[in-house]
A and B are shown apart, each in its own frame.
Chain A
Amino acid sequence: MNCRSEVLEVTVEARQVEEAMLALLHTILLHRSTGKFHYKKEGTYSIGTVGTQDIDCDFIDFTFVRVSSEELDRVIRKAVSEFKDALSNSGSDGMGQISLEFFQKKKSRWPFSDECIPWEVWSIKVNVVNLANEQERQICREKVGEKLGEKVINVVEVINRHEYLPKMPTQSEVDNVFDTSLKDVQPYLYKIAYQITDSLGTSVSTTMRRLIKDTLAL
């Protein structure tokens, strides 16, 4: 469990889910991204620039800052919209959780695949409510905006603490720490996973994997 975990909880209306999630995920990623590294021969590197961009939300009174990288945005959007669809299709009481996990890779010897060791996990719990009329929606719009603002400050506070971050890698190891697939920005390696309601039997595959590992580790 050698990883920090932070939990954020929000209560939103169905149409606000996507924007709220984007706002939070982007906020976290903004602080967990750097410019591209340019390595020099003598083993040093310089860091490229990162642009930021203000995004206004349509359904919430809220503006958030994100890294101005279309590619990154696309990836996040895709994950969030999947989550939103799953949430609306689930038909349950509209509880869900999306988690953003930062990890680093550890090269293993041949028979094993690379280990992905998480060092920070952000779980965002979403509670979807249904509103009866337009007036309530209006109130909700402001309320959620305020709440999100608090969350953003919350995130920044957490990130400002001096806690463990993977060490800056050398050129050969950069893929073990940073996601270098994007052209214009370089976030720490991350994974986005979601889960609808806190279902008891998580996913079958994780259970199986754990089972095998446990029996091996006996």
Chain B
Amino acid sequence: MAHFDTDYQRLEASYSDSPPGEENLLMHVPEGAKSQWHHIENLDLFFQRISFIPKNGFTCMLLGEIFELVQLLFVVGFTVFLANCIDYDILFANKFVNHTDSSKVTLPDAFLPVDVCSARIRHNAFMIFVLVISGVFWLHRLVKFIYNVCCYWEIRSFYINALKMTMSELPYVTWQEVQARIVEIQKEHQICIHKKELTELDIYHRILRFKNYMVAMVNKSLLPVKFRLPVLGECVFYTRGLKYNFELIFFWGPGSLFENEWSLKSEYKRGGNRHDLADRLASRILWIGIANLLLCPVILVWQILYAFFSYTEVIKREPGSLGARCWSLYGRCYLRHFNELDHELMSRLSKGYKAASKYMNCFLSPLLTVVAKNVAFFAGSLLAVLIALTIYDEDVLAVEHVLSSITLLGVCITVCRSFIPDKHMVFCPEQLLRVILAHIHYMPDHWQGNAHRYETRDQFSQLFQYKAVFILEELLSPVVTPIILIFCLRRKSLEIIDFFRNFTVEVVGVGDTCSFAQMDIRQHGHPAWMSEGKTEASIYQQAEDGKTELSLMHFAITNPQWQPPQETTHFISQLKERVHREATGLLKKKKKRPRSLIANLLAGPSTLSSVHFGRDGCLNNHTAAGIGDGASALRSLSPISSSLYLRGSLSAAHRATSHTSAVSKAMAGSGTDARTVSSGSSAWEAQLTSLVLSEYASTEMSIHALYMHELHKQQSRGELPRHTWHRQESDESSDSVPDEVRSEPNTHLRNFPRSHTFPTTVPSPSAIPTSASATSSSTLSQQGVGGFQMFFSYPVGAGVKVVRSARVPMGGWAEDTQGAPRHHEPLPEESSEDEMPPHIHKVNPGAIIRWTGCSTIPSDDQRNRLDMFRLTLSSSIS
């Protein structure tokens, strides 16, 4: 055995690294679940709950739910009590109580003793039935309540721990902020496991998955909600009950098309056995219809009781509320964009409310008015006498039925009054409809130019119905719903199956969504809505009324952070640029004019312009609108630039600054704007920013919506519309220019400080006559442009009052001037800006005149000047 002497040795050191016994083991540090918010099972529900809360706050939700429970208990209990435990004979004094001590009848006298009462209840089978049903219902609600509370609690802690928001600031946080934080959170916690990052669209898709389907189905007229009835003509019936049933059938009920909240059942995705599936759906609808029919009495009783208890008091207090209007459920569906949250929709519709009710009031029938006036007169005299007598000696009240007749007369008078139009109201529906359009963003093509017609009014009233009608429909709903389900919806089952198959796409990380909600111009664009050449959709695939395009714009504007796919980005920026360029073009021309009165006009309120620039800056923070081009041209024209260029100018300067600082800059710059400054204490600054931002977004959207409608109108007609003539005629008929002048602008400008509107409007009279004098009477173009102008003048005026101080300087005047060129853009010679000056010269007078009063003839210089002057006066006085 030789001893080998080599260099090789054992390397002792290597062993010392690991602890003895556990050689070569790596040590790991567990990450642990740092938060409980990673990988959330049901993101749909989770996001929905998150989106609920900011509006109301946690306590409100909780209280609301508790009161709902108590209310339910109360309604049932009180009804039973009224029906069984009261001796009405005593109450009506048909029977005398034999009190020994006093002759007064007290309320407790009328109550039956407990044992009699309970016996009466026990012997009444129907009452027991009602009690059992409501008991079960109540228990269900209770369980649901407890469940909800637990969920809310979870969401609350999500807000506090993950989103780092305190409960006190929650009511003032906008959804956009919450959303931005959620997107941040995803990077850290991975609440959705499919993707590293969530986009805004993903969140919207999840929250609005089913609502998008409903919107699409209403858009494609798939749901049977419009009916042609023998006497009533076309009417819409869409109630909460019906909606609930639709959702039950399609989305979550037993055997619904959806397997769970996020995926359509696979058999519905295949076209193979569509007839089988349609049959199955039809039979399911039948069964649900029958179940509705069986439950009808219960629901009916409930609806009546509920309506009685919730509305009687209101009607007694202010009977006029029945004459008030509200956006109908169908309207909300029809007007809703794809991917629009409830609160976004509601704020939009609320802004349009005033104009809408004004529009509807234009159509009060004169016959009815005369009758109402007289009825009100007679009822009023009776009432006056009764009241006078009562004041003289209150024993009059003790006379039988005096109190009730006073009440009835009061109600009668209020009802009559709602039929008597405002004395200062002027019939100019076309303008009103445009104002409405600026907020609601959708309307059928045939309304344009037909605003003064009854058909339009009737159709609009489908969207904007009387509160009374709403209540009535809700009451009728339990009876009508099963009929609609069984006879109308069932027939459509094949179409429904096809709809879900054709318009469902699976999105990674989101699940099955409605393909319309993707807002893909290529797939669902409508050639008549600016997506000419871009869309590949068949007629079946096209969304009606430009829904895809408008929704896309709306989503892009409300969610500026969102990065759409390539083509879509192209579409958006193209549109924005187009709107922008036209305005810029106009301004350049304006400057060339020999007597640059416009320049005067604009130079006047220089303080205002500074306000604007500040604001613009803060807007630019959140929009990367690629329209910096004409910014410099616009600067001098700040009042004009107001809303259209909100996001355009000063982009570079302010982009870097944070929101807060931008706002403070804006405030600093706005010497005139004392109100904002005062409210801009540090605590409010952030909120203010977001408020201002969202307001700007809504204005921008309004303008884009109007622009798109106008373009659409021209594309589809191919020539200047005739409707302006119509309007002209109808407007002529009401020769109350000053009236109009006074009433219209005033109502819109009333709500904000005079100092702001004043400087904007003052220079205008000088501007307008000149432009008018430049007019050679090429009426056709004037007409067209004029029509378009109103568009822009109005919405902004209307918007102003909403935005508090933000948009103050943009009185309608400024807008007028910029509306004009936009009109020209879509005309054939799109790029030839040289064409523009003459147009513009012609354009202005017509535009403004039409705004000031419906009836002026554009070429009539003298009158223009007069009107203008009046308008300015009136608006400055207001």
- What is A's interface to B at a CB cutoff of 8 Å? 1-4, 38, 40, 43-47, 104, 106, 109, 111-112, 115, 117-119, 163-164, 166-171, 173, 176, 198, 200, 207, 210-211, 214-218
Q: Shortest distance in angstroms between B167's beta carbon and chain A's nearest beta carbon?
A: 20
Pick from A43, A47, A115: contact of B29, CB under 8 Å: A43
* B28: contacting residue among A44, A115, A117, A200, CB under 8 A: A44
Nearest B-chain residue to A115, judged by Cβ: B41
**Shortest CB–CB separation between residue A23 and chain B, in angstroms?**
26
Distance (Å) between the CB of A49 and the closest chain B CB? 9
- Chain A neighbourhood of B260, CB < 8 A: 1, 210
CB <8 Å contact, B41 and A2: yes
Q: Which B residue's beta carbon lies closest to that of A116?
A: B41
Within 8 A of A (CB), among B526-585: none
B675 at the interface (CB under 8 A from A): no
Contact with A along B599-610 (1 / 0, CB 8 A): 000000000000
22 A-B pairs with C-beta separation under 8 A:
A2-B193, A3-B193, A4-B194, A40-B27, A45-B29, A46-B22, A46-B25, A46-B26, A47-B26, A112-B150, A117-B41, A164-B39, A166-B39, A168-B28, A169-B30, A169-B33, A176-B33, A214-B252, A215-B140, A217-B45, A217-B147, A218-B144
In the assembled complex, which residues on chain B have CB atoms less than 8 Å from the CB atom of A166? 33, 39
Q: Which residues of A contact B34 (CB under 8 A)?
A: 167
A44 B29 Cβ-Cβ under 8 A? yes
| In-complex Cβ contact of A170 among B32, B40, B194 (8 A) | B32
What per-residue 1/0 map shows which CB atoms of B34-52 lie under 8 Å from chain A? 1010111111010000000
* CA gap between A115 and B45 in the complex, in Å: 15
Taken together as a complex, chains A and B put the C-alpha atoms of A43 and B32 apart, in Å, by: 10
- Smallest CB gap from A118: residue in B: B41
Q: How far is the CA of A4 from the CA of B191 in the complex (A)?
A: 13
The answer to whether A167 and B32 touch (CB under 8 A), given A1-B262, A2-B39, A117-B41, is yes
Give chain B residues whose Cβ lies under 8 Å from the Cβ of A40.
Answer: 27
Q: A117: nearest residue on chain B (CB-CB)?
A: B41
Contact yes or no, B150 A46, CB < 8 A:
no
Q: Are A164 and B45 in contact (CB under 8 A)?
A: no
Cα A2 to Cα B202 with chains together (Å): 13
Q: For B26, what are the chain A residues with a Cβ–Cβ distance below 8 Å?
A: 46-47
Q: Is the CB of B30 within 8 A of A164?
A: no
Is B254 on the interface with A (CB-CB < 8 A)?
Answer: yes
Chain B residues within an 8 Å CB radius of A215: 140, 144
Q: State the 3 A-B residue pairs at the shortest beta-carbon distance, nearest first.
A: A164-B193, A1-B262, A170-B32
Residues of A within 8 A of B32 (CB): 167-170, 173
- CB pair B27–A45 under 8 Å, yes or no, is yes
Contacts of B640 in A (CB 8 A): none
Nearest-neighbour CB distance to chain B for A1, whole angstroms, equals 4
What distance in Å separates the Cβ of B94 from its nearest Cβ neighbour in chain A? Answer: 47
Inter-subunit contact A167/B193 (CB<8 Å): no
Chain B residues whose CB sits within 8 angstroms of the CB of A115 once the complex forms:
41
State whether B193 touches A119 (Cβ < 8 A).
yes
Known contacts A167-B34, A169-B32, A173-B32, then 14 further A-B pairs from the complex at CB < 8 Å, ordered by chain A residue:
A1-B261, A1-B262, A1-B263, A2-B41, A2-B193, A38-B22, A40-B27, A44-B27, A46-B28, A47-B26, A111-B146, A169-B30, A176-B33, A211-B254
State whether B31 touches A167 (Cβ < 8 A).
Answer: yes
Q: Mark B501-524, 1 if CB is under 8 A from A, else 0.
A: 000000000010000000000000
Contact A216 B147 (CB under 8 A): yes
Residue on B nearest A201 in the bound complex, by CB = B255
Look across to chain A and name the residue whose beta carbon is closest to the beta carbon of B267: A200
A43 contacts B30, C-beta separation under 8 Å: yes
Q: Which of B30, B144, B192 has the most CB of A within 10 A?
A: B30
Tell me the nearest residue of chain A to B508, going by C-beta: A4
- A207–B191 alpha-carbon span in the complex (Å): 26
Indicate if B367 sits at the interface (CB-CB under 8 A): no
| Bound CA span A38–B267, Å | 47
Tell which of A3, A4, A167 touches B38, judged by Cβ atoms closer than 8 Å.
Answer: A167
B190 interface hit (Cβ, 8 Å): yes
| Residues 118-157 of chain B, each 1 if its beta carbon lies under 8 Å from chain A, else 0 | 0000000000000000000000100110110010000000
- Give every chain B residue within 8 A of A1 (Cβ-Cβ): 43, 260-263, 511
- Contacting residues, chain B, for A2 (C-beta < 8 A): 39-43, 191-194
**Bound form: Cα–Cα A200–B39 in Å:** 29
* Residue in A112, A170, A211 whose CB lies within 8 Å of B30: A170
Which B residue's beta carbon lies closest to that of A39?
B30
CA distance A1 to B260 in the complex (A): 8
Residues of B within 8 A of A106 (CB): 36, 41
Of B45, B193, B260, the most chain A CB neighbours within 10 A belong to B193
With contacts A1-B261, A207-B254 taken as known, whether A173 is within 8 angstroms of B193 at the C-beta atoms is no
Instruction: Tell me if A168 and B31 are in contact (CB < 8 A).
Output: yes
Chain B positions within 8 Å of A214 at CB level? 252-253
In the complex, A89→B32 CA distance in Å? Answer: 45
Q: In chain A, what residue has the closest Cβ to B145?
A: A216
A44 to B30 Cα, complex, angstroms: 6
CB contacts (< 8 Å) of A164 on chain B: these are 39, 190, 193-194
- Rounded to whole angstroms, the CA-CA distance of A196 and B415 in the bound complex is 67
Q: Which residues of A contact B29 (CB under 8 A)?
A: 43-45
CB distance from A56 to the nearest CB of B (A): 31
| Chain B hits for A45, CB < 8 A | 27-30
Distance in angstroms between the alpha carbons of A123 and B238 in the assembled complex: 42
Instruction: Identify the closest chain B residue to A109 (Cβ).
Output: B150
Which A residues touch B45, using CB under 8 A? 217
Which residues of the other chain, B, contact A117 by a CB distance below 8 angstroms? Answer: 39-41
